[in-house]
Amino acid sequence: MRRADREIKERLEIEQILAQADVCRIALNADPAPYIVPLNFGYEWNDQLRFYFHCASVGRKLELLKVNPHVGFEVDIAHVLLTAESACDWGMKYKSVIGTGVITSLETEKEKVHALDLIMAHYKFPGQPSYSEGMLRAVRVLCLEVTDFSSKAR
């Protein structure tokens, strides 16, 4: 990381960023340029950091993932515009987590329910969510297993 003075290394602080973020952006490999998609998400961080997403069962994102499941991701929070006398001194306060990983599709009902529960919990769904069999068959649930990440703040 170029700006080591801004790096966040404490797991608790990284988890606070993830907990407060409302969107995770994933960057997929596409020709002639990357394709970036903002997604609602849930996550868990036990032995490995994993993000979970839900989507329709067809679309450009899924077509690109078939070709290459390796993605970049980014979440950010706490944006505050910093103004100054000189235009070159303007900037932005923020906190972010950025990394890479591999996306797979979850297939079993148990895996899907677990992931969907994490997504709903992330957005503070009150109570225990339920999902119909039809909805579970129709929805695609994706798991991003993070292979590398860093976090920083300004």
- What is each CA distance from 38 to 4, 21, 74, in whole angstroms? 27, 12, 9
What is the model's pLDDT at position 147?
A: 98
pLDDT of residue 23: 98
Question: What's the pLDDT score for residue 89?
Answer: 92
Cα(96)–Cα(18) distance, integer angstroms: 9
Check residue 42 and give its pLDDT.
98
The CATH number covering residue 118 comes to: 2.30.110.10
Rounded Cα–Cα distance for residues 37 and 26 (Å) = 5
pLDDT at 152 (0 to 100): 96
Q: What residue numbers bound the domain in which 72 lies?
A: 4-153
Among 104, 99, 78, 79, CA closest to 148: 99
What does the chain come to in residues?
154
Q: What is the per-residue pLDDT for 148? A: 98
How many structural domains is the chain composed of?
A: 1
pTM score, whole prediction: 0.94
pLDDT by 10s per residue, the chain, length 154: 677 878 999 999 999 999 999 999 999 999 899 999 999 999 999 999 999 999 999 999 999 999 999 999 999 999 999 999 999 999 999 999 999 999 999 999 999 999 999 999 999 999 999 999 999 999 999 999 999 999 999 9
C-alpha–C-alpha distance, residues 51 and 144, integer Å = 5
Q: What's the rounded Cα separation, in Å, for the pair 78 and 20? A: 9
